[in-house]
Every structure is written in structure tokens, then in C-alpha cells.
Amino acid sequence: MDFSWTKEQLDYRDKVIDFAKENLNNDLVERDRDLAFSRDNWEKCAEFGIQGLAAPSELGGAFKEVDILTATLAMEGLGYACRDNGLSLGLSAQIWTVQLPLLQFGTEYQKEKYLKAMVSGKAIACHALTEPEAGSDIFSMKTHAKKVDGGYIINGSKRLITLGPEADIALIFANVNPKMGKWGVTGFIVEKGTKGFRQGENQAKMGMRTVPLGDLYFEDCFVPEENRLGKEGAGWSITTHSLEYDRCGILASQLGAMEYQLEKSVEFVRNRKQFGKSISEFQSVSNRIADMKLRLETSRLLLYKVAWLKSQGKSAMLEAAMLKLQLSESFVASSLDAIRNMGGSGYLTDFEIERNLRDSVGGVIYAGTSDIQRNIISELMYADSALSKK
């Protein structure tokens, strides 16, 4: 097993780190407080090439072909250097759940019109699957699309959509044949300003406050057939396929944030003095540091394994579920340990440590809750056990 990276990959990660440190951490305390999304920072990321990680160079991408390993390392570097976890989440949401499906399943027309605009930063796109009564339970999807001459009429709503209030483009999923359950789910590209399409307001939330989150509404919204993504009924397969990549990107940035968090914790406890000595000499403090390091490296191994499997064109459903569960829960635990190690200072907003804890909690919910990941893991193990006995 080769766990090394090429010099080119490491150099690119370092460039991402330098870019993020220099450009993306401005006024973050204020933006977090005010729920302010920075479109300027988004466009800076596009100019650098972050959005180009999920597009080939012919469509404006960062490299000749999409390289999930390099992209994962780059997003890890972004999470390490960019203190704005909301921006990293928003970028990953667009890159892996909108851009990649368009690249892999879209028509040439869709790639030229929409994908290039996303890569360049001229357009922001959201992925809209969740509904008021259909989160993890896709069978309960109520948004439906009726086939008419030249396209589809869509009615329904989507809930808690990352980038939803800000998006210029929405990749939404509606059922064209409810009797078929999830096999009737179909993807559609809807442009901002389309008649019958309304975007809700940005909703206040506990963490990730710098990335917009809101609802989408469709009332007799006509979408031309040329804006359907893939075949009718392929929507569930498309979004499931993209989620494995999505978890690499989102969780890579969280891994980077955890690494930075650990470095700052070690620095703090070495320099903080109580009872005449460094608190790093206290066993309880040292145990927390050790636990943080163990969570970080265990999560790193799972992340790299999933990225490697996808780079080889292999399925990673089980591994991606384990990664999502392990890393998201680890980020919460390590964020709490970081605050404990830093005491009262860690509880203060201006110290910029408590924000990681607020941001981390969302990770156990979005892109599939921890409970759902446990269900996926156990079901796949049961299925594998049953097959092995035949």
C-alpha cells in the first residue's frame, strides 16, 4: 500500500493553503454573526480554480481530467487554511452534487451553458433533494413533474437547501411517476427567475452561518425537456452516485479544519500555565490531545481510502458511509475537546474556537445523518453476509 502523494499534488495543496490564508478569512466573525455569504470570496475561489476541481480543462477545469485524489487533498488544504467552514461546505455542495453530475450525465448543451458558468464563478448552483416530509425517506417525495409538450410542469417544494437562497441554478429532483417510488425520481436544471420558481429567505442556523440555507418552491413551473438531467427515473441513481464524491469533498475540508484545530490546541496547552506549569503536563489535557490526534488520523485513513476507491472507478458505498459517520462525529468530539483544553478563552467568540463546534454539529445531519450511515453500514454487512453463505 502506497500512502504517499506526488510532489505535484503536495505543491498544489500548498498553493491552496497559501491562497486561502491570504484571501478567505476576512471579517469572518462579523459575517458569521450576520449570516453573510461572501460572493466575492466565492469568485476568488473560482479564479484560483477551486470550482474547477470537478471539471476537465476543456470546460475551464483546473486539470486535464477530474482527479478525485488531488481534489480531496486540495479540499483538505482549503479546510486547513480557510476558517470559513460555511464557504468550504458550499463549494463542496456545488462541486460534487451539481457540477459532477452535469459532467457525468449532462448533455453537451448543459455542460456548455451551466457547467462552464459554475466553474468560472459566474453562477452558483444548489442540489435540491430534501423536502418537508422527505429527508432520508426518499419514498415520501412529494415534488412531482408532469410531462407536457416540450418539457415538464413541476409542483412541490424543497427544504433546507444549501446555497438555495443564493443559487442562480438549481439541480432539483422531482418524481415523474410516483407509483415507481424512487425509480420515478428525475433530475431537472432550473434557472433563477423561471416563472413558478421561488427561492426562500436565508434561514438562521446554529453553525455554518456564512453559507445560505433555505427552501425552494415550485408552482406550475415549466422546465424545458432539454433541462432534464439524464433519463426519466435516473435521478435517484445520479444523486446516490454523486454523494460518494460529495462526502470526500465535504469531509476533506472538515479533516483540514480538524488538523488546524489540533495544532492550535497543542500550541495553546503548551503555552498556558496553571499551578506553575504548562497545562500540557496535566494528564486529562494530554488525554484529550491524544484522542484528537487519534480521531484525526483514523478519519484521514478512511477519507483517503474512499478517494482512492473512487479514483479506481470502484463503488465505495460502505466505505463512504463509514467515513461520513466517523469523521462527522469525530469533528464534534474534537471541537468539544478543543474548547475544554482552552477553557474560558475557547468559549469566547473572538477567540474563534467555539465556531468549529457550532459548525461541526451540522455534519452529523447533512449528506445523510449519522443514524442513516449506521443503517447503511449494517444493511450492507447483512447483505454481504447473506451472499457469502450462498
What does the angle CA 93 – CA 376 – CA 307 come to, to the nearest 5 degrees? 50
Q: Compare 249 and 13 and report the one with higher pLDDT.
A: 13
pLDDT given at position 315? 85
What whole-number distance in Å separates Cα of residue 310 and Cα of residue 96? 13
Check: CB of residue 159 under 8 Å from CB of residue 130: yes
Residue 390 has pLDDT above 70, yes or no: no
What does the angle CA 318 – CA 322 – CA 327 come to, to the nearest 5 degrees? 150
pLDDT given at position 171? 98
Residue 338 has pLDDT above 70, yes or no: yes
pLDDT given at position 276? 92
Mean pLDDT score across all residues of the chain: 94
pLDDT given at position 387? 64
CATH numbers and ranges of domains, the chain: 7-124 (1.10.540.10), 127-232 (2.40.110.10), 236-385 (1.20.140.10)
What does the angle CA 198 – CA 200 – CA 202 come to, to the nearest 5 degrees? 150
Residue 135 has pLDDT above 80, yes or no: no
Residues contacting residue 182 through CB under 8 Å, at least 6 positions apart: 138, 139, 141, 236
Q: What percent of the chain has pLDDT over 70?
A: 97
What does the angle CA 163 – CA 325 – CA 167 come to, to the nearest 5 degrees? 5
Convert the pLDDT of each residue in 258-303 to its tens digit: 999 999 999 999 999 999 999 999 999 999 999 999 999 999 999 9
Residue 214 is inside which H or E element, if any? strand 213-224
- What single-letter DSSP state applies at residue 53? G
What whole-number distance in Å separates Cα of residue 154 and Cα of residue 46? 31
**SS3 assignment, position 50:** coil
Set of cell numbers at residue 46: 473560482
Confidence band for 134, pLDDT divided at 50, 70 and 90: confident
Residue 161 has pLDDT above 90, yes or no: yes
What average pLDDT does range 236-241 have in this prediction? 83
Residue 73 has pLDDT above 90, yes or no: yes
What average pLDDT does range 33-54 have in this prediction? 97
Confidence band for 121, pLDDT divided at 50, 70 and 90: very high
Check: CB of residue 201 under 8 Å from CB of residue 171: no
pLDDT given at position 170? 98
Residue 241 has pLDDT above 80, yes or no: no
Residue 1 has pLDDT above 80, yes or no: no
Question: DSSP letters along 112-147, please?
Answer: IIIIHHHHHTS--EEEE--BTTBSS-GGG---EEEE
Check: CB of residue 181 under 8 Å from CB of residue 123: no
pLDDT given at position 389? 66
What average pLDDT does range 195-215 have in this prediction? 98
